[in-house]
């Protein structure tokens, strides 16, 4: 009689222990598997909001690539040329500073930075915008002649005028030869942003984003 009374109590006790254990396991599984997944989903973000042509060089940094394309669209300069200039100037290192005082991705001299409203030459976006504006001005001045524009970017407009062409400086001559060799063109069309968008294959996403 006493044994039969104890059996239901023992079963109830066993069920309670099993229920507590099951809840404990479920809680830990939830923490282990489900929470990180939820966090991972919330931290996923879009890397780039602009269209990048398939043949465009890359810096290896999506943000820098996007900055270059936006500057290209804004000032009508081929992003491929910008990539080659930036690679030659700084190898995409945003904090680079030369012994002469040139700074950032496009190695702006202090006077050039001031001239083109760049208040922080270490800021990639501001630096590339100012450098692209300057390069566009040089392309216009030298009627789309890439070699002369590059020579002026490296050695100064005055020296190109003085020597009526690429100055006889070994650094400048190497600079021009290196970039034009990679860029593969001696002439750069002088286009409006709308025309450049079509000519350089930038896509409508740029216009919508700007």
| pLDDT tens track for 79-109 | 999 999 999 999 999 999 998 899 999 999 9
Indicate the burial class of 44 (C-beta count within 10 angstroms; 0-12, 13-18, 19 or more).
exposed
- Token duo for residue 183: 């860029």
- Delimit the domains of the chain by residue range: 1-44, 62-209
Residues designated as active site: 89
Query: Residue 139 corresponds to which tokens in the numbers above?
Result: 């392309």
CATH class, domain 62-209, is mainly alpha
Name the residue among 59, 74, 87 with its Cα closest to residue 200. Answer: 74
Tell whether pTM > 0.95.
Answer: no
Q: What is the pLDDT of residues 167-198, one digit of tens each?
A: 999 999 999 999 999 999 999 999 988 898 89
């Amino acid at each position: 009689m006493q044994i039969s009374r104890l059996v239901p109590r023992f079963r109830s006790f066993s069920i309670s222990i099993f229920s507590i254990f099951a809840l404990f396991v479920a809680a830990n599984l939830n923490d282990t598997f489900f929470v990180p997944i939820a966090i991972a989903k919330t931290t996923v973000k879009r890397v780039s909001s602009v269209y990048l042509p398939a043949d465009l060089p890359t810096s290896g940094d999506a943000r820098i690539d996007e900055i270059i394309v936006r500057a290209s669209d804004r000032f009508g300069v081929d992003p491929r040329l910008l990539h080659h200039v930036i690679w030659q100037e700084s190898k995409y290192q945003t904090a680079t500073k030369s012994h002469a005082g040139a700074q950032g991705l496009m190695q702006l001299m202090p006077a050039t930075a001031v001239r083109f409203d760049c208040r922080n030459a270490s800021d990639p976006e501001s630096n590339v915008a100012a450098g692209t504006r300057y390069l566009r001005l040089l392309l216009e001045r030298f009627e789309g002649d890439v070699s002369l524009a590059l020579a002026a970017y490296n050695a100064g407009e005055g020296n190109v005028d003085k020597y009526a062409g690429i100055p006889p400086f070994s650094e400048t001559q190497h600079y021009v030869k290196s970039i034009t060799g990679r860029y593969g063109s001696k002439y750069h069309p002088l286009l409006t942003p709308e025309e450049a968008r079509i000519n350089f294959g930038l896509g409508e996403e740029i216009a919508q984003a700007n």
